[in-house]
Structure 1
Amino acid sequence: MSTPLFEPGQRPRIWALSISRLRDLFFDIAGEYVERADLRIVSHGFEDAVREIEAAGTGRPDVVIAGGSNGAYLKTRVSVPVVQISPTGFDVMHALARARRDGANVALVTHGNTPDEVRRFVAAFALDVTLASYQSAQDAESVVLDLRDRGIDMLVGPGLATDLAANAGMGAVFLYSRASIRAAFDTALEVAQATRRETVRRQRLDNLLQHLRDGVVALDAQGQVEAMNQRLASLLGIDAARAVGRVLLELAPDLAGSLPEADGDAFCTVRGASYVVHRGPLANSGAAAGTVLTFQESRAVERLDRTLRSRQRVQQFSARYRLDDIVGASDSIERVRTLVRRYARSDATVLILGESGTGKEMVAQSMHQLSARRDFAFVAINCGAFPEALLESELFGYEEGAFTGARKGGKAGLIEVAHRGTLFLDEIGEMPLSLQSRLLRVLQEREVVRLGSTEPTRVDIRVVAATHRALTEGIAAGRFRADLYYRLNILSIALPPLRERPTDLLPLAVELLLQAAAREPRLAARLPDAAAAERVLEGLGDALRHYPWPGNVRELQNVIERLAVELADADTETGTDAIQNGTSGAALSREILRTVAPEITLEPQPRAKKSALTLRERSRHVEADEIRAALVTHGGDRDAVCAALGISKTTLWRKLNAAQ
């Protein structure tokens, strides 16, 4: 029979168990603990009490209070903490005093061995008291009857002994007092709170382990499982709950020999899959406190590595050039600088026009660096460098499974990567018509839809486009959408070709030579400043100014690189004299120029024919020059050139013949 004292709540559940007069004391003081505990007084003991506790299920007590042999019995048979009631020294003195008043022959009976302090107390005061003890309920009955037969007429002891004494016709004094019961209840509250805190801590730890993507197991110093998450249990094919308390290598013998022997990492194979296993201490005290093993699938590590590389690549989308990097003092270049500063204050789309090699991307980066978007990405893509399908996935991104070979988890396109920054579309005239309509929607709606998705993603980008072609001719020929052109051509900057700003040619050559010298240790000391570089190049002024430079600054840079290599390999003494004296430098430089750049003659080049060419004809000649350069680079291998330029053999043949 059990007596609930109040409705169950969130307070610690404490059961006080007794089948003797101890129960009456429980009732006497129970009211003092109503606010602090969910207290039940249970009139069961020994095996009946064990069944009562186990049958309670989720309503099992947090702590059990019992006295004497009942408490000792329960401690070894139930999984909940048991607080045994211990009589105090005052309890013993008070009980013996009462017994001496009512009986001639007194015996003190205790459960277990008689405590030494009781023996010393009796001896110190020369008390005529018989001491006895019992180990079990059956033993208690024998002890009591034996004392009766020995003439003991008054017995002092716990509830079981005093009940037996009363049944045997002897006098009995109950050993426990209200103070000892209160002390047991207070101890039970502390134990319950400590147990609850530990339970909550373990539940949180277990919840954390279950939500980890990796398999985790905690082992004690003997290699027995203390905790294991479900992910690792499923991997090993075992029951996580039943694994606790068992040796891990007995549960998973395949792991033997593949786990790290010390703190660190190792590789192992489980059911055909490869895992990276990390071993670390369970606590700061070292291996004696246990070990934690973490199992991470190697494919997950590879995916993480790819993700980190992808993020690092995104972080590398930044502008390197500033407005000060644009060399030149001509009126046309000053006009470009003015427009860059002005347009940097706007978010409107910009179209940069200019021949190949005039520095269109440098202007775009300079504009980005001066804009309010400078702290975000500058993403550049050459629209003519990719096949149509690849360009589409690079620009717009794709969802997982959008096409064969699509990356797991999908991929953000460059338009998304440029969010809050600048998207630079170089060679916009080369963009396929099918993608032009999709780009137009991005410009109009400021949202992008990945391949294989129907969900648009909002983007905040500024678009800067560039081309060396006449887009109006593309519109007339049906190769370029008129509506996209007018969306792009809101703000416009036209970059002058190098031949139209001859005063900037020598300063540009000097700057390019200094840059080449900075990369070549043999030249760095010989060309410490612009004055030294200008003296080296002063004899080339006329030849450089009279050449039309169809490749513009890019072609000039190539020529200067060739001259730098020659100067670095020249005799140090001769080269130094040429720089210092300024006399032999011109002759030396002319000879070098004839050797490394035979296309540049020393005679003035006729410009009438060049200036008479239309913009479309100029574009054809520029393309043909680039194709011829590629043929030289690839040793005349047309297949390799077509692969490098992303064109077919038919297109290569047509462009070469169109420039004749």
Structure 2
Amino acid sequence: MSTPPFDTAAPRPRIWALSISRLRDLFFDISGEYVERADLRIVARGFEDAVHEIDAAGAGRPDVVIAGGSNGAYLKTRVSVPVVMIGPTGFDLMHALARARRDGSKVALVTHGDTPEEVRRFIAAYALDVTLASYQSAQDAESVVLDLRDRGIDVVVGPGLVTDLAASVGMGAVFLYSRASVRAGFDTALEVAQATRRETIRRQRLDNLLQHLRDGVVALDAQGRVEAMNQRLATVLGIDAANAVGRALLDLAPDLAGSLPDSDGDAFCTVRGASYVVHRGPLASSGAAAGTVLTFQESRAVERLDRTLRSRQRVQQFTARYRLDDMVGASDSMQRVRALVQRYARSDATVLILGESGTGKEMVAQSMHHLSARRDFAFVAMNCGAFPEALLESELFGYEEGAFTGARKGGKAGLIEVAHRGTLFLDEIGEMPLSLQSRLLRVLQEREVVRLGSTEPTRVDIRVVAATHRALTEGIEAGSFRADLYYRLNILSIALPPLRERPTDLLPLAVELLLQAAAREPRLAARLPDAAAAERVLAALAEPLRRYAWPGNVRELQNVIERIAVELAEMETETTAGLNVQAQAQAQTHAEADAETNASPNGATTQPLITRDMLRTIAPEIMEPHHARSKKTALTLRERSRHVEADEIRAALAAHDGDRDAACEALGISKTTLWRKLSAPR
């Protein structure tokens, strides 16, 4: 028989050979062959004494035990280590019977347990005159031997216990085992030890893996008994993991009865006051009899992981580009806006930004996001008036797979979910359809969103900033805007002044916009290297720019500056030697009028690159007579008054930390007047 492969790097397996009969002599005879491959110990113990010896060994207990006959059968049922039984070969049997026939005329073959059928067939085939007998225990063996003696048997063939008994009562005895059978037992023991050790290492690795899982895990057999459990789940259940193996899980944790999944899938349960998601799956793929794996995941951990994943899935388009420094203007009204942005950035309360179209409402919202604790997460902007109602609903709230015809496979997260842990900016909130306003109100109140086609809400952590150019109070009166949504949005408020109310900011804004346009146009990069150069270009236009009402505010100013930048670029293309002839003539016409404006630091004058006549060509609306514009803006003074009053009231509220009584006292108005001024159409 070939010897098993031997791993020299691993520690030698511990093998104990136990016998209290002449089998022990064979153990000693061949033990030298295994000294290099096993830590072999021959122990003169049997039955109950052998059991005590193994149990007392503790950490030094054997990996495998070798024994024969009734001693081996006894140990198999009473020790937890593998037991290899020494078994006679066919050659052993023939050789022993031949020796017995030479020593006596009447021979008996005694085996432990029932006589093997192949032995019976062998004796019958060769017509051997052999008496067959068997025994179950040591006491039984003694009775069998005495009975055979009384029946006139001369020689007994059998294991060590039987032959020792036969010799003690004066009978001939032939030992059944040979060196070959004992050597085969030792080789088998080595194979078993190595297989057991590999299995132990595999189980240790599996157990180590289980212990490092963040979730609680338990493996159950087909009867619901614990095969393995990690310490995390044992801690949750309040039990000892080491003593749980082999016991029914529901006996260890009766509170789980009725809350575990009946089949593969998920269920919710409560363990010692904490909520868990329990997943059930098969332990192996061979069917239900293979057992079950249960994983316990704490609900709060699932929510934290969900929030983290959603925040990391933020794409580049959902970032804020503008910062507070990008807001140009040194007027008192802009200083108040900056102060409010910095103050409100420290809060998570909903903000309503009021202002005419083009006043920079989104820039204010992005600046507030950059200054807030949510700066590392998404800034999601959506124009509520830019989508049809059905599309707006799916984009904002998301949808599940199959929610409607054409729905994306797997569904889609809405912008509310995308903004998780960040800021959701809802521009033109006054344009939102009435049917969606109630859904948005629930998001603001409960901080959870339900996708189209779903019934399960998703928790979201967002800050909402809304903006409008409309008077929402008029929408409330007209029934197109919900009053409860207005009060939910108007917790903090910022009113942006129109460009016509801050004329001192107009030229710095124009200069900044011209520099931005020049940066996008390579032909102007050298001509406009800094703000001073841009200011000289626009110097002749300062007065008409200030006189214009700018109904489109900063956005309209940006459009005009873009036209000026295009004109400058064309002029630069036509000539590299300075201004073209036509421009020089136009410049000379207005030289005296613009001399003071265009004075250089050393007292000399410079020729303007863009003149008023050129401005009349590229932006005729700016050069309209004042009386023509005044007809179109008859309510400008009234509107200006409302804006100024509202700004003063909000500034007073901000200065008194929102204390309306203190603000009213400082302004000398009643709370009713304050509310009316703030709610009046702008």
- Change beyond 3 A, Cα 1:315–1:144: farther
CA contact (8 A) 2:311 2:377 kept: no
- Change beyond 3 A, Cα 1:640–1:387: closer
C-alpha distance in structure 2 between counterparts of 1:383 and 1:114, whole Å: 102
The correspondence of residues 102-121 of structure 1 with structure 2, limited to 5 A, is 102-121=103-122
C-alpha distance in structure 2 between counterparts of 1:190 and 1:206, whole Å: 24
- Change beyond 3 A, Cα 1:223–1:122: same
* 2:643 is the alignment partner of 1:628: yes
The correspondence of residues 149-228 of structure 1 with structure 2, limited to 5 A, is 149-228=150-229
TM-score normalised over the length of structure 2: 0.52
What residue identity is the alignment partner of 2:36? E
Q: Secondary structure at the match of 2:183?
A: helix
- Change beyond 3 A, Cα 1:602–1:263: farther
Q: 2:341 aligns to what?
A: 385
CA contact (8 A) 2:231 2:241 kept: yes
TM-score normalised over the length of structure 1: 0.54
- Change beyond 3 A, Cα 1:162–1:549: same
Aligned residues: 409
* 2:648 is the alignment partner of 1:603: no
Q: 2:275 aligns to what?
A: 274
The correspondence of residues 430-509 of structure 1 with structure 2, limited to 5 A, is 496-497=510-511
What residue identity is the alignment partner of 2:120? R
Q: 1:301 aligns to what?
A: 302
The correspondence of residues 61-100 of structure 1 with structure 2, limited to 5 A, is 61-100=62-101
C-alpha distance in structure 1 between counterparts of 2:309 and 2:642, whole Å: 38
C-alpha distance in structure 2 between counterparts of 1:315 and 1:100, whole Å: 96
- Change beyond 3 A, Cα 1:226–1:605: farther
Q: Deviations over 1:559-591 (max 9, x none)?
A: 9xxxxxxxxxxxxxxxxxxxxxxxxxxxxxxxx
- Change beyond 3 A, Cα 1:305–1:165: same
Q: 2:37 aligns to what?
A: 36
Q: Secondary structure at the match of 2:305?
A: helix
CA contact (8 A) 1:114 1:131 kept: yes
C-alpha distance in structure 2 between counterparts of 1:266 and 1:273, whole Å: 14
Per-residue deviation, 1:129: 1.2
Q: Deviations over 1:101-123 (max 9, x none)?
A: 22221111111111111111111
- Change beyond 3 A, Cα 1:233–1:627: farther
CA contact (8 A) 2:346 2:373 kept: no
C-alpha distance in structure 1 between counterparts of 2:511 and 2:553, whole Å: 6
Per-residue deviation, 1:312: 3.4
- Change beyond 3 A, Cα 1:266–1:72: same
Q: 2:391 aligns to what?
A: none
Q: Secondary structure at the match of 1:277?
A: strand
Q: 2:384 aligns to what?
A: none
Per-residue deviation, 1:307: 2.3
Which is worse superposed, 307-316 or 59-68? Answer: 307-316
- Change beyond 3 A, Cα 1:200–1:102: same
Q: Secondary structure at the match of 1:240?
A: coil
Q: 2:135 aligns to what?
A: 134
- Change beyond 3 A, Cα 1:263–1:497: farther
CA contact (8 A) 1:546 1:604 kept: no
Per-residue deviation, 1:142: 1.0
C-alpha distance in structure 2 between counterparts of 1:637 and 1:254, whole Å: 63
C-alpha distance in structure 2 between counterparts of 1:194 and 1:112, whole Å: 28
CA contact (8 A) 1:65 1:184 kept: yes
Q: Deviations over 1:273-331 (max 9, x none)?
A: 2111111221222433111111122122222223223333486665889xxxxxxxxxx
C-alpha distance in structure 2 between counterparts of 1:193 and 1:316, whole Å: 60
C-alpha distance in structure 1 between counterparts of 2:271 and 2:374, whole Å: 39
C-alpha distance in structure 1 between counterparts of 2:645 and 2:196, whole Å: 79
Per-residue deviation, 1:268: 1.2
The correspondence of residues 483-562 of structure 1 with structure 2, limited to 5 A, is 496-497=510-511, 547=548, 549=550, 553-555=554-556
Q: Deviations over 1:403-445 (max 9, x none)?
A: xxxxxxxx99678889xxxxxxxxxxxxxxxxxxxxxxxxxxx
CA contact (8 A) 1:266 1:276 kept: yes
What residue identity is the alignment partner of 1:296? Q
C-alpha distance in structure 2 between counterparts of 1:499 and 1:41, whole Å: 97
C-alpha distance in structure 2 between counterparts of 1:82 and 1:139, whole Å: 22
Q: 1:327 aligns to what?
A: none
Structure 2 residues not aligned, in runs of 5+? 1-9, 331-337, 349-370, 379-495, 497-507, 522-543, 561-620, 628-635, 668-676, 678-682
- Change beyond 3 A, Cα 1:307–1:417: closer
Q: Deviations over 1:132-176 (max 9, x none)?
A: 111111111111111111111111111011111111111111111
Q: 1:235 aligns to what?
A: 236
Q: Secondary structure at the match of 1:241?
A: coil
What residue identity is the alignment partner of 2:187? D
C-alpha distance in structure 2 between counterparts of 1:292 and 1:31, whole Å: 47
CA contact (8 A) 1:314 1:417 kept: no
C-alpha distance in structure 2 between counterparts of 1:626 and 1:254, whole Å: 70
Q: 2:147 aligns to what?
A: 146
Q: Secondary structure at the match of 1:80?
A: coil
Percent of aligned positions with the same letter in both sequences? Answer: 75
- Change beyond 3 A, Cα 1:415–1:128: same
CA contact (8 A) 2:510 2:558 kept: no
C-alpha distance in structure 1 between counterparts of 2:231 and 2:165, whole Å: 54
Per-residue deviation, 1:89: 0.5
C-alpha distance in structure 1 between counterparts of 2:287 and 2:510, whole Å: 72
Q: Secondary structure at the match of 1:71?
A: helix
RMSD: 4.8
CA contact (8 A) 1:262 1:279 kept: yes
What residue identity is the alignment partner of 1:628? H
Q: 1:123 aligns to what?
A: 124
